[in-house]
């Protein structure tokens, strides 16, 4: 285990509009506001997107199992933002549900807001953390 101690910086309250891609908008905000480390929470609805529900097995690099959000889904999630090279990269795990069907996974591709999605983003100051390409997993992982 590795860790650092930091402190809370700015806090952003965000309202995403119907049809917006929240992952793109979060990275745009981080870039514009120069937020290098953050945690965020989301609540609201999504009507599209692709997410990973785990790897097929224990081999590296992992082979992802993909699922899709189809139609309006209630959504609750938590994520982090750390930079990879010169770009912020959001990592979000959430639950996506409609009626009696609920799924959980890592939201990765083409999410689209249904009606409204709210977020609270807290900047983390005084730490040195970023994302780096891990050769074994072929994924951009947190480096502290």
Task: Give per-residue pLDDT as tens, 9-33.
Answer: 999 999 999 999 999 999 999 999 9
For residue 11, give both structure tokens. Answer: 């806090």
Helix (H, G, I), strand (E, B) or coil at 30: helix
Task: Give per-residue pLDDT as tens, 60-98.
Answer: 999 999 999 999 999 999 999 999 999 999 999 999 999
Residue 116: predicted pLDDT: 95
Task: Give per-residue pLDDT as tens, 89-127.
Answer: 999 999 999 999 999 999 999 999 999 999 999 999 999
Helix (H, G, I), strand (E, B) or coil at 26: helix
**Stretch 45-54: mean pLDDT, rounded?**
98
Q: What is the pTM of this model?
A: 0.95
Angstrom distances, CA of residue 67 to CA of 9, 24, 35, 54:
35, 20, 30, 10
Residue 113: predicted pLDDT: 98
Q: Please name each of the domains of the chain with its CATH number.
A: 7-143 (3.30.1330.80)
DSSP β-bridge partners for residue 38: 81, 123
């Amino acid at each position: 285990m590795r860790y650092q101690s930091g402190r809370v910086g700015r806090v952003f309250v965000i309202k995403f509009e119907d049809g917006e891609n929240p992952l793109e908008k979060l990275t745009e905000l981080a870039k514009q506001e120069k937020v290098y480390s953050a945690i965020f929470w989301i609540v609201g609805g999504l009507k599209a997107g692709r997410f990973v529900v785990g790897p097929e097995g224990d081999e590296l690099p992992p082979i992802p199992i993909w699922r899709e959000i189809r139609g309006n889904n209630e959504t609750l999630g938590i994520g982090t933002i750390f930079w990879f090279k010169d770009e912020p990269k959001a990592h979000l795990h959430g639950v996506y549900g409609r009626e009696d069907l609920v799924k959980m996974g890592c939201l990765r591709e083409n999410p689209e807001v249904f009606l409204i999605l709210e977020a609270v983003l807290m900047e983390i100051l005084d730490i040195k953390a970023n994302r780096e390409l891990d050769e074994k997993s072929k994924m951009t992982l947190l480096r502290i």
